[in-house]
Amino acid sequence: MHFLFVADPIEHFKIYKDTTFSMMREAQRRGHAISVCEPRHMRWQRGQPVTAGVRKITLTGSPDAWFREESAHERPLHAFDAVLMRKDPPFDAEYIYATHLLEQAEREGARVINKPRALRDHPEKLAIMEFSEFTTPTLVTRDAAAVRAFHAEHQDIILKPLDGMGGMGIFRVKADGLNLGSITETLNKDGAQTIMVQRFVPEIAQGDKRVLVIGGQAVPYSLARIPQGSEVRGNLAAGGKGVAQPLTEQDRRIAEAIGPVLAERGLLLIGLDVIGGSLTEINVTSPTCFQEITEQTGFDVPAMFVDALEAAVKKP
């Protein structure tokens, strides 16, 4: 098979932890061919299929010059056995335009993973609202008065932008309400931008767990991203420490309720964020933590993913 990875520039990959790299490595190990491009390399001209300027690469096994470019050419997306959309957020207008091009490629016969429409329909923070039985009290609004009322009710809250990643723009406001007005104005751009507000979950001290679900099935281990020092955020990008651990009964309950539903909608890979038994985000764009879980537990997450990928490609 020949897989196309649509991703950020591969020259910037940190291959010791990058999940897309681990997918490529496992795919190549099985004899599959690998090509790469960035969303900006896709194009759609009237009367023609969606194409991309792609680079076919081979992984070298070296930690430095880790890939070798074999060829570069323009190719229709439907010519690949699968197109994997692995572009990191932000989920901005350019990301949405990319999903429209990928959806047109689907109409032309391409198999795109995760499904472009499903990516658009499940923004990573808003998607949890469909599964409210698993979430901490949550408010989505641009109204500062509504934020103040939510704080008055719950006392200790988290505020965050809807388009953030890696812990970017997350604030905690405790019972004293210190700087609540200023933080709200900063995040909601004086009422122009919608934000999310959630009751603070104190179990964040034990970690913000990433629960991976592949083809509707939960990986048996999560990665608990544990805040360090005085930091409230557990995100690895914000300095959190990643500790792999077996799924709890509640982790499984959440994964088994949500995973098959979203898999049926075309989301082959999702990452559920769980704090203290509460669902806080559903990551669909480019879920990570494959390598950390595999290295700490011995469970081969990339192999499970490529198994599911191969099965999806062979499915009528």
Which residues carry out catalysis?
A: 125, 160, 210, 225, 233, 273, 281, 283
Burial 200-236 (b: 16+ CB within 10 A, else e): bbeebebbbbbbbbbbbebbbbbbbbbbeeeeebbbb
Question: Dihedral of CA 14/20/26/31: which sign?
Answer: negative
Cβ neighbours of 169 (radius 10 Å): 16
- CA neighbor of 289 nearest in space, from 205, 225, 204: 225
The length of the chain is: 316
Residue 273 near residue 201, CB atoms below 8 Å: no
**Tokens 């537990």 belong to residue:** 297
